[in-house]
Chain A
Amino acid sequence: MSNTIGDRILHESICRLTRVFKTEQGYEVELPQVYHTGHAVMVVVSPSQNGFIVHDNSYAAMLLSSRGVRITPKLAESLAPQVSAYGCEIEDFRVKRACVDADQLGFVMSTVGCASRLVADLLLKSELAPMRDFKSSVISQVLDTVGPARVRTNEEVNGHLGSRYRVSAVVLDIQQAYPIAFIEPIADREAIARRFKQFYDLARTTEFESVQRVAVYDDTQPISSGDALLMGEVGNLVRFRDAAVRFREWSTIQ
């Protein structure tokens, strides 16, 4: 094989990476670009009223989802300015750009491909998903400390106005006759509002007035002092590392 290169060889070499397929959505074009996962970047060219729409068919977002990344509107918002730097926009996680003139299609496909790759590259910056399940860790801790006979998991209870809640762990008294504590994990900041509502409601339920409400948060996901104070108004907030000590109190309650 000759190692001599020239403009024709280089041109052909890059062109071999480009393929075009006719599909029901229009034309799907494989660009001479790859995502960091190795997958070729593909864009779809569809006719529109004023010319063409070029988009990535949400392949970059699908790649993120397939690796366990949560797709949220907030994520789309944070990406919008970067995608816009390529002259594209992101709508429902589809990277797209309008094109009026067919002569511009090559350039537009390239920019959509670049912006799509930018979305997929989020994976390089995102942290690995937690290796342990926080809720299971909290429940295991309760079971180990108080003993399985006195713990009910995912128990349904009613709030004072009829709302229903599934309490992650309910600790019963020694005779296993009535509940003495409700325990809920707070794995991240998003859980605060839900837990606050639940504890606020249960605190106002006559039947559960004397039941302790304990929220256990993940030490590795610190919560703000404002959120901590808020949870403190409706229950007792405990760090996971202190949870065993807190739960041990119930092992001696008669």
Chain B
Amino acid sequence: MTWRDKGHGDYSTCDMKVIAPSSPVWNLRLAMTAHVRKLPRKCTFSLIYGQRIFALDVNPARMHNNQTGEVVDVTHWTKWPCDIAERDNRDLYHVQWFNDFLRRANITFHGIYERPPYLPEQDRLFD
């Protein structure tokens, strides 16, 4: 699990391959992003198979459904085709969101968790 920020200093990304034991040739990936400056901390978790098929947006900007105008202002989950958001009002640490995402996506993680490289000023204000 490696966080990278090369070429985009405001946020970090972590990309991991996901293997489906029954079909190892499927190109499944877990893509994570974490803003390293913004408070409250903003991050995303996406399971990608061609496109986003399961996702969690933590502390996103106000989100509108462009077709219906419905507004979701809080952390939310989406499943493919990702046009209906399921609200989640909890306030969790990144590792807790990570574990919950894995649990809901039925993914077993064999690595060692690393938290996003938040900048010191963000850390100081949050912790």
Q: What residues of chain A have their CB less than 8 Å away from a CB belonging to chain B?
A: 19, 23-25, 30, 34, 36-42, 57-59, 61-62, 65-68, 71-73, 76, 92-94, 128-134, 136-137, 140
CA distance A92 to B63 in the complex (A): 25
Q: Is the CB of B7 within 8 A of A62?
A: no
Report if A67-B8 is in contact (Cβ < 8 Å); known contacts: A30-B62, A133-B26: no
B8 and A61 contacting across the interface, CB-CB below 8 Å = yes
**In the complex, B81 has a CB within 8 A of chain A:** no
Q: How far is the CB of B118 from chain A (nearest CB, A)?
A: 12
Q: Are A34 and B64 in contact (CB under 8 A)?
A: yes
Tally inter-chain residue pairs, CB-CB below 8 A.
120
Contact A131 B52 (CB under 8 A): no
Whether B121 and A67, one on each chain, are in contact in the complex, defined by CB atoms closer than 8 angstroms, is: no
Stretch at the interface among B36-44, B89-97, B98-106, B107-115: B36-44
How far apart sit A59 and B38, CA to CA, in the bound complex (Å)?
Answer: 10
* Interface residues of B, Cβ cutoff 8 Å to A: 7-11, 13, 15, 17, 24-27, 29, 31, 33, 35, 37-39, 42, 44, 46, 48-52, 55, 57, 60-66, 121-122, 125
How far, in Å, is B121 (CB) from chain A's closest CB? 7
Interchain CB contact under 8 A, A67 and B51: yes
Q: Say yes or no: A66 contacts B33, CB within 8 Å.
A: yes
Contact check: which of A57, A67, A140 meets B52 at CB < 8 Å? A67
Closest beta carbon of chain B to A81's beta carbon, Å: 18
B11 adjacent to A65 (CB under 8 Å):
yes
Among B8, B64, B121, B122, residue most surrounded by chain A Cβ atoms (within 10 Å) = B8
Between A and B, 25 residue pairs with Cβ closer than 8 Å are A24-B125, A30-B62, A34-B64, A34-B66, A36-B66, A37-B63, A38-B64, A38-B65, A39-B64, A40-B62, A57-B10, A61-B10, A62-B35, A65-B8, A66-B31, A66-B46, A66-B55, A68-B31, A68-B52, A92-B9, A94-B8, A128-B50, A130-B50, A131-B49, A137-B25
